[in-house]
Amino acid sequence: MISLSLILPREQAILTSVLAPYFHEIAPAIGIDPAKRAQQMLHRQDVTAFWIRHDGTRIGFALVLNLPDDRRELSEFSIVPQHRRQGHGQTAASLILQEFPGRWRMGISADSPQAAAFWGTCLSLVPGLSDLQTGAPFTEHQSKSYTFEIAPPIIAGPQND
């Protein structure tokens, strides 16, 4: 079972340890300092950081940037390699996106063709996703971007018999 839990500031060292191989995979030439990035992300008021768990075990993480006008950006998302290609990423992405209905955006790393393939399929399968558009990258290290809308959950009311 896939679940999400908040990454707490006291877990900064653990986040740093998973950010190092993640940044090496998606942006090897940029030289991002994983310790500095973890510290920044866990102490910003406009970021929500999640562990992605499978049966209670951490298998990945996601960082959601809360933008003005009730918009969100999926800033970082990763499933550790040994847990990929099992449907965990798709399930986790759906959980995260549906947690925050409204407008979303995300950039796709130019150095990760696997990410481009994953998100191209993943977004087409997320329940409640509409108005999916592919656009220009947000940074010079990205190949493209996506924007889309996530519908709020349908809450069933009382039924009349």
Q: What is the pLDDT of residues 86-139, one digit of tens each?
A: 889 899 999 999 989 999 999 988 888 788 888 988 999 988 899 999 989 888
What is the DSSP annotation of 112-155? -HHHHHHHHHHHHHSTTEEEEEEE--SSTTEEEEEEEEEPPPPP
Domain ranges of the chain: 2-150
Of 154, 114, 144, the residue nearest 26 (C-alpha): 114
Does residue 161 register a pLDDT over 60? no
pLDDT, position 5:
93
pLDDT digits (tens, 9 = 90+) for 36-61: 888 888 888 899 999 999 998 999 99
Q: Is residue 159 over pLDDT 90?
A: no
Binned at pLDDT 50, 70 and 90, residue 146 comes out as very high
CATH number for domain 2-150, candidates 2.170.16.10, 3.40.630.30, 3.40.640.10, 3.40.50.300: 3.40.630.30
Structure confidence at residue 49 (pLDDT): 93
pLDDT for residue 113: 79
Average pLDDT over residues 153-160: 66
